[in-house]
């Protein structure tokens, strides 16, 4: 069987006018960085990469060594190619400018270098999430305001999942495409064309330890699911919660489901738990491109106009009919 690599896929997208040469280069560079992160993640204790870094990030969260390593790999890999105007990372407070020695390009890259950090030391899947915007700002050093575009403006979004196999899942606005890393060849192979999220599901993902903090619409929705066959939904539902958003979203892209990190009393002061610009937006674009939906409960995630680079939002995404039901419960409340 003829194997299509990520490189070939991207060249064909470019020929079809769906990506520019610079966007193709950008995605290839991200994919290269993902391979390097994958090597580090999979070596674990052998490479001494587990455990705390001994520092806090901008969110005030303790950084793991792999958070720092993954961040460095992505920043360094993307500095010199000439395709970026600037970068932003979950692990860095300020916008990361391209060093003066290198040319600048027209795109902005945002990422969560290692998502699901709490799973690193227990050898459970983690991921990388990224989002690409156009640089619309004048001048040579884009500041935070250049990044504050709604998710609808993303030109590409993707994630890498470091699981039993390493996968790259990607959209450039023409469906969602999955690639599996062939470690011997060192290349991503096109294994999952046009991934779709089934509109219905019997599986939901939420951290139930936060139940007492949830708002009424989410209480109502989950209570109905838990009543199963004898309740208003008339069927049983199953729960999954990996605590790595990438792994939870990947499951939903594979067999359907709904993922919720909703507004609750614990995270209200921060605006939510997950970050809008490099977690919620790229995942929302991917899920929508796959036929699903993504909402804060009150608004389509991709329509949220960001006020801050590290802004947080409530996230409810996945199978269309379930997400619409949760949004309807919010409207009725
Ligand atoms: P992180 O970027 O610090 O790793 O946090 C994001 C992660 C998501 O991957 C996951 O869905 C969520 O946090 C899990 O949170 P909790 O530990 O509260 O269940
Ligand atoms: Mg994260």
What's the pLDDT tens digit per position in 156-200? 999 999 999 999 999 999 999 999 999 999 999 999 999 999 999
The secondary structure of residue 278, as a DSSP letter, is I
Q: pLDDT value at position 48?
A: 84
The proportion of the chain whose per-residue pLDDT surpasses 70, expressed as a percent, equals: 100
For residue 205, the model assigns a pLDDT of 98
Question: Does residue 42 have a known ligand-binding role?
Answer: no
Mean pLDDT of the chain: 96
Domain boundaries, the chain: 6-192, 203-332
Name the nearest CA neighbour of 170 among 197, 199, 193, 198. Answer: 193
Q: Which residues on neighbouring strands pair with residue 134, listed in sequence order? A: 107
Nearest CA, atom 15, ligand 1? 243
Query: Which of 273, 278, 310, 317 to mutate for ligand 1's pocket (most ligand atoms within 8 Å of CB)?
Result: 273
Of 55, 161, 244, the residue with max ligand 1 atoms within 8 A of its CB, to mutate for a pocket test, comes to 244
Given CA atoms 105, 107, 110, 111 in this order, what sign does their dihedral have? negative
CB within 8 Å of 236: residues ≥ 6 apart? 202, 228, 229
pTM to 2 decimal places? 0.97
Q: Is the CB of 57 under 6 A from ligand 1?
A: no
Give the fold, CATH level 3, of 6-192: Fructose-1,6-Bisphosphatase; Chain A, domain 1 (3.30.540)
- Residues 168, 181 contacting (CB under 8 angstroms): yes
Q: Is the CB of 112 under 6 A from ligand 1?
A: yes
Regarding the beta carbon of 245 and ligand 1, being less than 6 Å apart is answered yes
pLDDT interval class at 140 (50, 70, 90): confident
Q: Is the pLDDT of residue 268 over 90?
A: yes
Judged on CB neighbours under 10 Å (0-12, 13-18, 19+), 185 is exposed
- Model confidence at 47, pLDDT cuts 50, 70, 90, reads confident
Q: 64, 40, 43: which is closest to 52 by C-alpha?
A: 64
Q: Of the ranges 36-45, 137-146, 311-320, which one carries the lowest mean pLDDT score? A: 137-146
- Residue 144 has what pLDDT? 96
279 is in an annotated binding site: yes
Structure confidence at residue 211 as a pLDDT band (50, 70, 90): very high
The reply to whether ligand 1 has any atom less than 6 angstroms from the CB of 129 is no
Cα(275) to centroid(ligand 1), Å: 10
Q: Which atom belonging to ligand 1 lies closest to the Cα atom of 118?
A: 4
Would the CB of 89 count as within 6 Å of ligand 1? no
Q: Assess whether the C-beta atom of 116 lies below 6 angstroms from ligand 1.
A: yes
Region label for 271, one of left (φ > 0), alpha (ψ between -120 and 50) or beta (otherwise)? left
Task: Assess whether pLDDT exceeds 90 at residue 38.
Answer: yes
CA 116 to centroid of ligand 1, rounded, Å: 5
Nearest CA to ligand 1 atom 5: 116
**pLDDT for residue 139 is more than 90:** no
115 is in an annotated binding site: yes
Query: How confident is the model at residue 166, as a pLDDT?
Result: 98
57-104 pLDDT, tens digit each: 877 888 889 999 999 999 999 999 999 999 999 999 999 999 999 999
Q: How far apart are CA 69 and CA 240, in angstroms?
A: 29
Q: What is the pLDDT of residue 167?
A: 98
Q: What average pLDDT score do residues 21-25 get?
A: 96
Average pLDDT over residues 226-245: 98
- Separation of alpha carbons 202 and 195, rounded Å: 19
Tell me the CA–centroid distance for residue 274 and ligand 2, in Å.
7
Q: Is the CB of 203 under 6 A from ligand 1?
A: no
Confidence band (pLDDT; 50, 70, 90) for 49? confident
Greater pLDDT, 64 or 29: 29
Q: What CATH number was assigned to the domain covering residues 203-332? A: 3.40.190.80
Say what the pLDDT of residue 157 is: 98
């Amino acid at each position: 069987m003829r194997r299509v690599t990520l490189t070939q896929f991207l060249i064909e997208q470019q020929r079809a006018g769906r990506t520019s040469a610079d966007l193709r280069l950008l995605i290839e560079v991200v994919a290269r960085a993902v391979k390097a992160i994958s090597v580090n993640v999979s070596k674990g204790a052998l490479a001494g990469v587990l455990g705390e870094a001994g520092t806090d990030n901008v969110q005030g969260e303790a950084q793991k060594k792999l958070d720092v390593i993954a961040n460095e790999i992505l920043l360094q890999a993307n500095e010199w190619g000439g395709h970026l105007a600037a970068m932003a990372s979950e692990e860095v407070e300020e916008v990361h400018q391209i060093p003066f020695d290198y040319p600048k390009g027209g795109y902005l890259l945002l990422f969560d270098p290692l998502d699901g950090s709490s799973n690193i030391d227990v050898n459970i899947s983690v991921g990388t999430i990224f989002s690409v915007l156009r640089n619309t700002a004048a001048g040579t050093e884009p500041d935070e305001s250049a990044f504050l575009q709604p998710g609808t403006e993303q030109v590409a979004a993707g994630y890498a999942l470091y699981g039993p196999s390493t996968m790259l899942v990607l959209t450039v606005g023409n469906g969602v495409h999955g690639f599996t890393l062939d470690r011997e060849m060192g290349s991503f192979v096109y294994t999952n064309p046009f991934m779709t999220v089934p509109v219905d599901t019997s599986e939901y993902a939420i951290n139930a330890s936060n139940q007492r903090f949830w708002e009424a619409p989410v209480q109502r929705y989950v209570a109905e699911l838990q009543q199963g066959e004898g309740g208003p939904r008339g069927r049983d539902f199953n729960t999954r919660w990996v605590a790595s958003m990438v792994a939870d979203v990947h499951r939903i892209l594979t067999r359907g489901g709904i993922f919720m990190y909703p507004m609750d009393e614990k995270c209200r002061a921060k605006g939510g738990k997950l970050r809008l610009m490099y977690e919620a937006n790229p995942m929302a674009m991917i899920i929508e491109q796959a036929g699903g939906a993504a909402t804060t409960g009150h608004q389509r995630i991709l329509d949220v106009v960001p006020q801050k680079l590290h802004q947080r939002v409530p996230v409810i995404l996945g199978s269309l009919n379930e997400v619409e039901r949760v949004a309807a419960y919010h409207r009725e409340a």
